[in-house]
Amino acid sequence: MYKRRYDLGLGQIDRALEVNPSDVDSYQARGNILVWAGRAGEALPWLEAALRLDRGHIPATGILCLAYYFLGRYSEAVEVGERALTRSPGQYLQALIHAFLAVAYAEMGRNQDAEREHVIVMRLSPFFDARIFAGQFGTQEAQDHLLDGLTKAGLH
C-alpha cells in the first residue's frame, strides 16, 4: 500500500480472506487500501464489515472517518472520527483522524471546531504539509478534495 501497489495489496488481502474469511484485520486492511487508493466508495462495505466483526476496532473506525470524508458524508466522518479518538488510538492514527476532523468540520462550516482540530494537528505534527499529506491519496480527485478541505481548515 505504501508503495502505491494497490492491486498487489488487494490481491494479498483477498488471499488472506480466502484463508480466514472472518479476520477483522483483513477486512480493515482491504478498506484501508481502497481509501488510500482513492476508492472510498468501494472501501465502505469492507470497513463496515470489520466493525460488524469487532465494534471496537480502532483502525477500522479511524479509516471509516476518512472514507466518509471522501464521500462527502462529513457529519458521519465527524461522528466516527470522534468515536475513534475516545478509544486512545496511537499518535499516527490520532494525527490522521484530527486532520480529517478539521477538514470535515471546515466543510460543514463549523469553523471553531475546525480551528480546534487544526491546533491539535499542528501539535501532533508540527511539520504538517498539506500538499504532501493530500498527495498520499491515489487519485487526483481525492487529492484535490482533501487539499481544498485542508485549505478551508487553515492547514495549507
Per-residue pLDDT tens digits of the chain, which is 156 residues long: 778 889 999 999 999 999 999 999 999 999 999 999 999 999 999 999 999 999 999 999 999 999 999 999 999 999 999 999 998 778 889 999 999 999 999 999 999 999 999 999 999 999 999 999 999 998 999 999 999 999 999 998
In the chain, domain spans:
6-152
Sole residue written with cell 483502525: 59
Please give the CATH topology (third level) of the domain spanning 6-152.
Answer: 1.25.40
The CA distance from 38 to 156, in Å, is 21
Please calculate the CA angle 74-76-79 and round it to the nearest 5 degrees: 115
**Whole-prediction pTM:** 0.93
What is the distance between the alpha carbons of residues 57 and 23, in angstroms, rounded to a whole number?
A: 12
